[in-house]
Structure 1
Amino acid sequence: MYISKKEIEVRYAETDQMGIVYHANYLIWMELGRTALIQEMGFSYADMEKDGIISPVIDIAVSYKKSLHYGETAIVYTWVEAYNGFKTTYGYEIKTPDNETALTGTSSHICVKKENFKPIQFRKYYPEWHKAYEEAKK
């Protein structure tokens, strides 16, 4: 299983009045982790979108374990949790600088044509990407 690692410095704007990261910002960090994973594997969401294909989130689940604070560094680990040629589920673990788990989660995605949101079979449109996901999944 391939796991991507992305470090993110917690910015002041991402925190609440207590200096704790606002919960929705973890979802943004999950997206950053997912994008980093895809880039490390040699692919690009931007290139896929140029082809008229987008990848909406169809399900997301998170479990908050420990708060991160302004000035700390979040470490986002991302991997392909499950993949069947149509739907991809990514796994995430966000760690504190002390290597404690701040969040665990998953997000599931399908690919659709941008003009009509009609689902596509990912394995047929992107066979090289499909092969990489088959090799990288948990």
Structure 2
Amino acid sequence: MVDALSIHSVMEQCYVLAIFLSVVALSESIQQQPDCSQLRQYAMPRNVRLDLATKVLAYENKRDASVSAVYLCALEGLAGLILENPHKPLTCPHSLGMHSLVFEIEEEPDINVGVMSQAAINVWKDHIPHKALHMGREYEINSRYCR
């Protein structure tokens, strides 16, 4: 069972992660299990990452269906840096050509990751195809860019 603090932490991570979820045209198939363990404290639980990424990619522009998507762990790390200071302005991601899709949800004791991520996707779904195309560039990001 996940305690309330862990749920709150996962909710915050999803809130920020979705800002930086990006797709990049690289190969024939989606990277099914992105390993972002090198992010240590900034890494989201694997099941949360895969659930959210899969749901976002389901709304990817259908005319680009032959183009695959790759999840970028560097963007998840950037989201973690922003979580350290939620009042930090989002000028760094905006300067890199990334645009925010924000979602907030009230903390509830019985909420699970699937319900939370689906609620976020329902809010974002009309914007995802346009943002995914616009953010089709890969960046190497580390903390020095966003201080």
TM range (shorter): under 0.3
Higher helix share: 2
Q: Which has the larger radius of gyration?
A: 1
Structure number with higher relative contact order (C-alpha < 8 Å, ≥ 6 residues apart): 2
